[in-house]
Amino acid sequence: MTVFILYNQCYLHKLIIKYIYWLNTVVFLFNPLPCCILALTITTHHSRKFFSGKMGLFKAAGVVYKPVEEIDLGPDSNEFYLKANVKAPRMAGFLVKIFAWFLESRIIGTLLLYILKRNNLIHKLVSNATLEEAPMFVPLHPFVDLNEQEVEQIDSDASPAERVQRAMDCLPLTLEKSVDDSNSSSFRRWTIADYSRAYSSGEITPRKVAEQFINAVHESSRAALPMSFFINYDAEDILKQATESTLRYERGDPISALDGVPIAIKDEIDCSPYPTTVLVLLGGTKWLHKVRPCTGDACCVMRLRSCGAIIVGKTNMHELGAGTSGINPHYGTTRNPYHPNKIAGGSSSGSAAVVSAGLCPAALGVDGGGSVRMPASLCGVIGFKPTFGRIPHTGVLPLNWTVGMVGILAGTLEDALIVYAAISGQLPSHEPTILPVSAHLYNITRISKYLKLYDEIRICCSNALHLLCEHYKWKTVEVTIPEIESMRLAHYLTIGSECTTSLSSALEKLDFAELGWDARVALRVYGAFNSKENRQMQIHKNIFAKADVIVAPTTGVTAYSIFDDALKTGELDYINGAALVRYQISGNFLGLPAVTVPIGYDKEGLPIGLQFIGKPWSEPTLMHIAFAMQALCISHYRKPKVFYNLLHKN
């Protein structure tokens, strides 16, 4: 049936029906070899007609786009809004294996990929499209001083510890009450400032927190539904770091507010003494370290260490970053702390989950296609992706060099700001880091909203935005953002072609049996992509001429269920995947800064996030607005079902 769905619009309809009957028999007998032979025989017999184009299969026409200056971006625009056009059934278990076998065959795989791309409008909207605008190949924006109000500028030669202190000085007033385990309506997570105060006052030591962290990770892995937060962590190394931090506090000489604070690192970021086992948008493999050994810390990790942070291990992720669920057949499925039967999102699934569950106030992820903001939204935490180029990428797997970006997951905006201050800046171009001073919110008069979406999420986002604008007397401007589906597809082409290019030398030596089945499918599909950009940057520049930020839901759906058939093979669920990433692509494809803030919950109690997208280099404006949104929502945050209180003295 899977193959029929993929083929039901092609010229081989009758032939494929016969093939399906045969395939059903093969599936029943659990013997794929005869099926592959028959498939190759059928395809070889007809391949000459297909590849010569005589049957018309390879004559997919592309759309002709009107010039950008003729596009109406107003709220009453008649621009056609194309919803996500995903024609691919969910597959897991044995179906994924069959699909992978066919994709990896030389002839039938080529045919399958062509039809898959054609049916999903990739040829029409992107590959064969005609447009007047010149493509933008790298979203690297010239630094522009936006003259933002209420900001603190930090010199590029300031040390990470000095940056952290400047960030602490910029923080707005925070809630001083403790985590209340008995009253979920007043729940909040411990912040970096909470850890720093507790250590400085002697209420608890970093060593004690480290011990409680290790016990909590052990407990989470032994649960009926293992949470699978980490791919790798070293208890001895964690205790060593914590002991050194404890001694510094006893001497009255902590390095910074981050001293002794547990911080987790996504697996695709180099971090000693752990091997980097993953790949950027495909993550958490068991083979990459064999061809790319980790010899030290990434630049962002070195900066956190220099501030005294305790690096507690490498978090789980979707294998090779090639999916949105966080289901990893090698290291286990990272589960959502709000509902362990639901996904945590991907690919930075482990980083989002450890923050949500209270194991760390902040963690690092990498955002190549919403991979920080998506799991942050699903797990009810902050997800922040700076402007492309703002954070050095030394020591991060270079799989998606024009769309991937180190990002921050944190329990609060305050913590995201502190970590951002520590790891940003000091780039070769020496742009200064600019932090928001949020004690006084300035008047942001223009917020472009784009909320065309499913009802439950749309209503929650609309209510939160209305509350924000009413409270601060801000104005909204409704806009139409055309060609979102085209941008999503173009992003897939870009990230896919870059990923396979980055991995090409490693894949030549790889035994594909070491990959999860869903990752094998992803690599085969990615290998068929050719990168081709569109003109969304020009469209967004026109929108930003009318507004300071764009606001949209972070995801189109909340966390969906984890099914047992996917645990050992992974799953292909491109319909849910498209709904999850749809409103996040501009941050990656165009290199724009973006932040997601938790604003509410659906009827199952699953978190909903609201996303703010800004102009290049406008991190202070985004953080001003995000602080304002958080202040209005934080008193209503709910405690996850899985939560660990590391500052509890008992």
> Hey, what are 124's tokens?
């029409």
Q: Which of 124, 266, 342, 639 is catalytic?
A: 266
Cα 180 off chain centre by: 30
Rg (CA), the chain: 24
Say how far apart CA 362 and CA 376 lie, in whole Å.
11
- Let me know: does 420 contact 619? Beta carbons within 8 Å: yes
> Hey, what are 498's tokens?
């870059």
Q: Which of 220, 228, 347, 424 is catalytic?
A: 347
Q: How many CA atoms lie within 13 A of 586 on its CB side?
A: 32
Say how far apart CA 496 and CA 168 lie, in whole Å.
39
Say how far apart CA 586 and CA 308 lie, in whole Å.
34
- Let me know: does 381 contact 390? Beta carbons within 8 Å: no
Say how far apart CA 374 and CA 348 lie, in whole Å.
8
Say how far apart CA 112 and CA 572 lie, in whole Å.
15
Q: Locate tokens 């594909």: which residue?
A: 512
Say how far apart CA 266 and CA 350 lie, in whole Å.
7
> Hey, what are 537's tokens?
């940057």
Q: Locate tokens 């209510």: which residue?
A: 463
Decide if 347 is catalytic.
yes
Say how far apart CA 195 and CA 242 lie, in whole Å.
13
Residue 544: strand, helix, or coil = helix
- Let me know: does 303 contact 423? Beta carbons within 8 Å: yes
Instruction: Give 635's DSSP letter.
Output: G
Say how far apart CA 314 and CA 267 lie, in whole Å.
5
Cα 265 off chain centre by: 14
Instruction: Give 347's DSSP letter.
Output: S
> Hey, what are 554's tokens?
């972070």
Instruction: Give 144's DSSP letter.
Output: -
Q: Locate tokens 């006893």: which residue?
A: 250
Decide if 156 is catalytic.
no
> Hey, what are 365's tokens?
């992820």
Name the pairing type of β-strands 447-449 and 549-553: parallel
Which of 120, 156, 262, 186 shows the shortest CA–CA distance to 644? Answer: 262
- Let me know: does 596 contact 150? Beta carbons within 8 Å: no
Which of 534, 573, 616 shows the shortest CA–CA distance to 71? Answer: 534
94-103 helix and 106-119 helix, angle to the nearest 10 degrees: 110
Q: In degrees, to the nearest 5, what angle opens at C-alpha 556 toward C-alphas 551 and 557? A: 135
Q: Which of 371, 438, 486, 502 is catalytic?
A: 371
Residue 549: strand, helix, or coil = strand
Say how far apart CA 334 and CA 558 lie, in whole Å.
16
Decide if 117 is catalytic.
no
> Hey, what are 457's tokens?
């999420």
Show which residues are catalytic: 266, 347, 371
